Amino acid sequence: MLSSPHRIMFPAAGAAALLGVSGLFLGQDFITHWSPLPGLYAWHAHEMLFGFVGAAFAGYSLTAMRSWSGGGFVSPTGSLLLFALWAMSRFAAIGALGGELIFIVPTGTAFLLFLAGRLAWAALRAQAVAGGLQALFALFLAICQLAYLTGSAPSFSSVLLVALLVSVVGGRMIAAFTWNRTHLSPTAARQFRCARVLGDASAAALALAAVLVGLVSVADGPLIGVLLVICAGCEGGRLWLWHSTAVRQDGLLAMLHMAFAWLPAGMSLLAASLYFPDLLAAPDALHVLTVGAVSCAIYAVAARAVARRCGRLRPSAIDGIGYALLCLAAVLRASSADVPAVLAWGACWAVFLWRHVQALGRPLERPVFSGQASNRMDPGVADQLP
């Protein structure tokens, strides 16, 4: 279980996905009474952003660290400490450690600060840009959590930061996996260079939007809608440039591309909700990003960790079913069908949890997320793309 960070943190993410939603229905009285967060939905947003997403990001980034750090890894003791800090943050959010900020802030943010420090140390030693970016995102998540715990920032800006994480880190990873699967033609090289430019433009616009959301009211910031439209256009163009027949022939890669497609869809709907609030509520559009882009990206990446059979990555039918349920949950939640969406969501993450707990009984095979090391480029060196 402790041989790699993803083996303990991916099940933790699955558990957080189930508890963060079921708590809205099953723990209403307890959470409302004991949690230091201002209300049940504030607790839900906190747990999904910093519990669920934080666990998944830690599992991926610290496992992929081997590829860009020159062989650096997290020891079993480090993995256990990481999980313990994550669990302590969950207890702090539910009020088990008291309600005073002097206790809530350090216990709540310790997990993300530890993650940022570990990634930053490895990135400095290896002088790796990819590691530095991931450390920076972990630090920004910790800052957002600190602001959220103290009531200084809305969850809206935190969601945009997580969307930025999908765009930058997820985009580099998908580009690397896709490049591995293509025939490396001059035409493909030009397309990937153009996609990289679009990714940089989208990241800049999305980062500015996240900052503006933290400074002004969403309804009073018309520039935010324009920035979101720019992001949607850039990410849609990026996805189109990556696409090829080879993508459709690889089930795991197709899952990643479908997950990324939720990003421009969510940006477009979020922009529309700002200009036409009577037609589409902002929370529904926001859930297209969280349930769609973010959650589907987590599921698609984690599916690779349990897909290795006979030395090759081969998708499992049960993972495809779980992924389809997650996509269904995103569609249902965007259309305000809350109860069916919760049922689809719960079934999806129950499958996810079962798959990853089951995998603990098998020997760990490497590389975890990419294909055979002899002929594949790992996403940790995505900046070597043409």
Angle at CA of residue 197, ends 196 and 203, nearest 5°: 85
Instruction: Give Rg (Cα) of the chain.
Output: 20
Please provide the average confidence, as pLDDT, over all residues in the chain.
87
Q: Do 318 and 191 form a contact (C-beta atoms < 8 A)?
A: no
Q: Note the pLDDT tens digit of each residue in 168-227.
A: 999 999 999 999 887 667 778 899 999 999 999 999 999 998 888 877 655 556 788 899
Closest CA to 116 of 101, 131, 128, 127: 131
pLDDT at 222: 78
Q: Which two tokens stand for residue 84?
A: 């313990």
What DSSP state is assigned to residue 52? Answer: I
- Domain map of the chain by residue range? 1-153
User: What is the C-alpha to C-alpha distance for residues 323 and 317, in angstroms, rounded to an integer?
Assistant: 10
Q: Do 7 and 364 form a contact (C-beta atoms < 8 A)?
A: yes
The residue with tokens 């600190």 is 146
> Higher-confidence residue: 64 or 3?
64
User: What is the C-alpha to C-alpha distance for residues 347 and 129, in angstroms, rounded to an integer?
Assistant: 38
Q: Which two tokens stand for residue 128?
A: 């790796």
User: What is the C-alpha to C-alpha distance for residues 251 and 321, in angstroms, rounded to an integer?
Assistant: 12
Choice among 100-109, 129-138, 353-362 with the minimum mean pLDDT = 100-109
> b/e map of 50-79 (b: 16 or more CB within 10 Å)?
bbbbbbbbbbbbbbbbbbbbeebebeeeeb
User: In a 10 Å sphere around its CB, with 0-12 CB exposed, 13-18 middle and 19+ buried, how is residue 138 labelled?
Assistant: buried
User: What is the C-alpha to C-alpha distance for residues 69 and 66, in angstroms, rounded to an integer?
Assistant: 5
- Measured CA distances, 303 to 95, 126, 317 (Å): 33, 28, 11
Q: Note the pLDDT tens digit of each residue in 6-21.
A: 999 999 999 999 999 9
Q: Is residue 116 over pLDDT 60?
A: yes
- Which DSSP string do the residues of 229-271 spell out, in sequence order? HHHHHHHHHHHHHH--HHHHT-HHHHHHHHHHHHHHHHHHHHH
Q: Which two tokens stand for residue 129?
A: 């840009």
Q: Note the pLDDT tens digit of each residue in 319-339.
A: 999 999 999 999 998 887 889
Q: Note the pLDDT tens digit of each residue in 49-63.
A: 999 999 999 999 999
pLDDT at 153: 60
Helix (H) or strand (E) holding 313: strand 312-313
The residue with tokens 């004991």 is 34
User: What is the C-alpha to C-alpha distance for residues 252 and 62, in angstroms, rounded to an integer?
Assistant: 21
User: What is the C-alpha to C-alpha distance for residues 77 and 46, in angstroms, rounded to an integer?
Assistant: 27
User: What is the C-alpha to C-alpha distance for residues 308 and 373, in angstroms, rounded to an integer?
Assistant: 13
Cβ contacts of 127 within 8 Å, gap of 6 or more: none
Average pLDDT over residues 294-303: 95
Mutual orientation of helices 155-165 and 186-215 as an angle, nearest 10°?
Answer: 170
Q: Place 380 in a pLDDT band, splitting at 50, 70 and 90.
A: very low
Q: Is residue 386 over pLDDT 70?
A: no
Helices and strands (H and E) in the chain: how many: 17, 2
To the nearest 10°, report the CA torsion of 12, 13, 15, 21.
150
